[in-house]
Amino acid sequence: MSVGGDGRSKEAGSALAERLNHLFANMHPPGAPYTNSFVAEEISGGAEEYGGVKVTEQYLSMLRNSRRTNPSPELLRALAKFFAVPVGYLLGDLSQPQAARVEEEVRFLAAMRDQRVRAIALRSVGLPPEVQDSLTTIICQFREQMNLPADPPEQGGDRRGE
């Protein structure tokens, strides 16, 4: 394992960068993903809400590019609060099943930005489980007929319905 100049392993910094980039790409309202500048301004400007943490867009960029790998615990808490994920997700302290659950929730929230996906999900609420299972089967069949993977992609996707 190689160690960076700040004493933290490069692998840990790379994992943090991947998690941050995943959150930036997926945890945003309809429209374009958040920018480093926007997140830095929100956290630095929300002194009380984010514990008085100050961060620059350049520092966020360095974290996202693994050029800096050892942010303060206060900054990690502020970023976790901003993106509404457990701080353990950014620290890498979650077990694999817990981290997978957080990423599943992030994918779900990203999918719910599409109004057509939301409409399908909301219309299935209250239907008996066997009907919901049938709808899932039908959607899987449509995906297969259209040569799409059985499950939607983990990131990104079509946002025409926003």
pLDDT digits (tens, 9 = 90+) for 59-89: 999 999 999 988 999 999 999 999 989 999 8
Whether 56 has a pLDDT exceeding 80, the answer reads yes
Phi, psi (5° rounding) for residue 9? -65, 145
Q: Of the candidates 94, 128, 148, which is a domain's last residue? A: 94
Asked if 44 and 15 sit in the same domain, the reply is: yes
Q: Do both 88 and 155 map to the same domain? A: no
Count structural domains, the chain.
2
Give the span between the Cα atoms of 81 and 63, in whole angstroms.
17
pLDDT bin (cut points 50, 70, 90) of residue 11 is: low
- What's residue 62's pLDDT? 97
DSSP string across 114-135: SHHHHHHHHHHTTS-HHHHHHH
Residues 43 and 86 in one domain: yes
CA pair distance 76, 8, nearest whole angstrom: 15
| Residue 38 sits in the same domain as residue 67 | yes
Residue 75: which domain range? 6-94
